Structure 1
Amino acid sequence: MIVTITFNKKEEWFTFFDGNGNKIERKTEVRYDPLTTETSRVFYGHGIAVTPKEYTNAGEQTAGKNCPFCPENVLNMTPVFPKEIASEGRIFHGNAIVFPNLFPYGKHNGVVIFSNQHYVRLEEFTIDMIKDAFIAAQNYILRVIDTDADASFVSINWNFLPDSGGSILHPHLHVILSESPTNYQANVMEKAVAFNSDTGKEYFSELYVVEKNLNERWIGENGNIAWIHAFSPKSHNDFIGIFSNVFTVQDITEQDWEDFAKGLISIFPSLLEQGFTSFNLSLQLSVNPLLKQPIHVRLIARFTIGQLETSDMNFFQTIHQEPLSVFQPEDVSKLARRHF
């Protein structure tokens, strides 16, 4: 069997002594991303305990008249699309509504609200709630690419709860279409094209096969959507969902979105079990059928630590651009696998 994907890591040991002269050794594991070769660090002996956060009071204070996304306000307080994107000004699917972002991150930026419910706990999300929101996002993307062929870098993004950078409690997505790739999009595309040139295989398709066979970071699958944990994680949890056999946003079916929603509903309990209630999610989408690269999504947990509510990100992540994880990916995979 030809080895196409390798999982490389090395250990570094720090030796020191306590006040009584007892020797202490601490290990840091440097892991190399199998596609990009970027590194992340897994460290041990951290003793971090994450306390789940409750936003009931904040939800009561920010709901209704104080929230532009609540049902009594959304049609009056949110902007509308040009007629060529949405004849009604906004896009509707089930309880989901799409409208323009007032402060866009790119050439096209739609906001999708999930439902009328202002504060939704992680355990309260339903398959239909998630499915409808992502179908609404897909409908917006399809309308944009019909009118603007240059906006070819596409993602659906989710900041859930304040620890993730979400500024409005009411759950919502950001759909971004741009002429310019983000650093992540450019790097992954460049490396995936090189991988295809070197091996004749599509990277995420091959990652699916290799991880499923290894069963070390494999979690589970529903229909065309498989879930693994990243070998070289971008945070303390880093779940990767691969849309196997689905190559463009045009190819995604309602059944795929239902299977995707089922997967998220299965991932959420593993977050809660670790004390996490917040996350960032980004779904990378292709609009070009010539780029045979399966769609993929990444979900990382976000949290704060201790009485000072210290951020989970420090100089290592923000300046060195080096992700840290206090949890071994293989351990997180075992935990998450139980919920599939």
Structure 2
Amino acid sequence: MTIHFKKAEEWFTFYDGQGNLIERKTEIRFDPLTGESSRLVFDAGLSPVLPNYTEAAEQSGGKNCPFCPENILKMTPVFPKEITFDDRITQGEAIVFPNLFPYSKHNGVVVFSGQHYVRLEEFTTQLIKNAFIAAQTYIQNVIKTDSKVSFASINWNYLPESGGSILHPHLHVIASESPTNYQAITNEKENQYKKENGTEYFSDLYETEKTLDERWIGECDSVAWVHAYAPKSHNDFIGIFTQASNIHNITEQDWLSFSESLTKIFATLNDQGFASFNLSLHVSTDPEAKQPIHVRLIPRLTIGQLETSDINFFQALHQEPLTYKSPEDITRKAHAHFNSRIK
């Protein structure tokens, strides 16, 4: 295993109005796979307050929501017969249908259940598992009809701070022959790593972080969690499917392990006052793929009385992530939620 954790420090020195010296450190960390940098900056005391969407849910739910039970079969589109003969794909309470405004060549929307507003602590393993199995089924059906599809992902914008335009919990499933920038650079660097080391990067990351025990959070059967060394936000959780390498060999037990452990990550977010997040789970469509499937989750929030976005010019235009929180500190918070059942 040849994973290297590289960082650099910069110091900004200045004075307050009384002439007292102030020193502020910026730590620049480099992603061990891609080499991309992110910055750990001075934390003036970021302390988000959990938002309450009860009133918004009352106003936007029921007859006003296309995803609620009274509307979903009337207001959502249906798939062509080559995807499913039943118009939509179902798994338990989860329902998959086409996105009216697609982000990709193939774009399914997965509604978790009939409940319009689900608080973070209300998500159950069964609710999560069914939604992701439904997403998996959709991707597998797409692959059968479109041999050009090479890249797929399951994505979740939870609550408005994340960019979610509908409060009702739902996933976006995208599949295409064209990768996103993240998929392209990750795929390129994974292949380069395999060529140079003869091993799979995310397998080595799992072993390395577990041995170092600095950003190792814990594992639930076949899904392990670490905190990113060079985070893309104030938390950056990476989940690794240790037994699954492509969309075809993810088992129901894998999804159960993922769902159980994800509720622990949700509890960690909740502890910090984070309610909203972005999640992307990247899956290979190649049945011969060997790289473990991985998922990333970052919180989203607004800051201060003006409800300022947590993304500014640095992230949006310089493409340089910022975090106020130490990855190692967040790891300790998350690890506390992984009890004796989840080691």
The two structures have a TM-score, normalised by structure 1, of: 0.99
Structure 2 residue identity aligned to 1:46? A
State the partner residue of 1:208: 206
Q: What is the DSSP-based 3-state SS (H/G/I as helix, E as strand, rest coil) of the residue aligned with 1:204?
A: helix
Distance in 2 (alpha carbons) for counterparts of 1:139 and 1:291: 18
State the partner residue of 1:292: 290
State the partner residue of 1:124: 122
Distance in 2 (alpha carbons) for counterparts of 1:179 and 1:198: 26
Q: CA deviation at 1:291?
A: 2.8
Matches within 5 A, 1:89-108: 89-108=87-106
Distance in 1 (alpha carbons) for counterparts of 2:301 and 2:44: 15
State the partner residue of 1:134: 132
Q: CA deviation at 1:18?
A: 0.4
Distance in 2 (alpha carbons) for counterparts of 1:165 and 1:297: 19
Q: What is the DSSP-based 3-state SS (H/G/I as helix, E as strand, rest coil) of the residue aligned with 1:264?
A: helix
Of 231, 237, 240, the match for 2:238: 240
Q: CA deviation at 1:45?
A: 3.6
Q: CA deviation at 1:290?
A: 2.9
State the partner residue of 2:52: 54
Q: Is the 8 A contact 1:26 1:45 kept in 2?
A: no
State the partner residue of 2:341: none
State the partner residue of 1:254: 252
Matches within 5 A, 1:38-77: 38-77=36-75
Structure 2 residue identity aligned to 1:87? F
Distance in 1 (alpha carbons) for counterparts of 2:66 and 2:298: 27
Of 261, 264, 271, the match for 2:262: 264
Q: CA deviation at 1:151?
A: 1.3
Q: What is the DSSP-based 3-state SS (H/G/I as helix, E as strand, rest coil) of the residue aligned with 2:13?
A: strand
Q: Is the 8 A contact 1:156 1:176 kept in 2?
A: yes
Q: Is the 8 A contact 1:113 1:170 kept in 2?
A: yes
* Deviations 1:182-217 (CA, angstroms, capped at 9, x unpaired): 000000000000000000010000000000000100
State the partner residue of 1:183: 181
Establish whether residue 4 from structure 1 lines up as the match of residue 19 from structure 2: no
Distance in 1 (alpha carbons) for counterparts of 2:52 and 2:235: 20
Q: CA deviation at 1:4?
A: 0.5
Distance in 1 (alpha carbons) for counterparts of 2:335 and 2:61: 35
Gap change, CA 1:169 and 1:45, over 3 Å in 2: closer
Distance in 1 (alpha carbons) for counterparts of 2:311 and 2:43: 18
RMSD across aligned positions (CA): 0.7
State the partner residue of 1:36: 34
Structure 1 residue identity aligned to 2:276? S
Of 86, 89, 98, the match for 1:88: 86
The runs of at least 4 consecutive aligned structure 1 residues that moved more than 4 Å come to none
Instruction: Note the residue ranges of structure 2 that are not aligned, 5 or more in a row.
Output: 339-343
State the partner residue of 1:320: 318
Distance in 2 (alpha carbons) for counterparts of 1:324 and 1:173: 26
Distance in 1 (alpha carbons) for counterparts of 2:311 and 2:246: 33
Distance in 2 (alpha carbons) for counterparts of 1:212 and 1:244: 13
State the partner residue of 1:199: 197
Q: CA deviation at 1:163?
A: 0.1
Q: What is the DSSP-based 3-state SS (H/G/I as helix, E as strand, rest coil) of the residue aligned with 2:173?
A: strand
Q: CA deviation at 1:62?
A: 0.3
Distance in 2 (alpha carbons) for counterparts of 1:119 and 1:47: 30
State the partner residue of 2:161: 163
Matches within 5 A, 1:146-157: 146-157=144-155
Distance in 2 (alpha carbons) for counterparts of 1:312 and 1:49: 13
Structure 2 residue identity aligned to 1:298? R
Distance in 1 (alpha carbons) for counterparts of 2:247 and 2:220: 18
State the partner residue of 1:221: 219
In the comparison of the two structures, how many residue pairs are matched? 338
Structure 1 residue identity aligned to 2:138? Y
Structure 1 residue identity aligned to 2:236? D
Distance in 2 (alpha carbons) for counterparts of 1:66 and 1:123: 25
Distance in 2 (alpha carbons) for counterparts of 1:273 and 1:44: 21
Structure 2 residue identity aligned to 1:230? A
Q: Is the 8 A contact 1:155 1:175 kept in 2?
A: yes
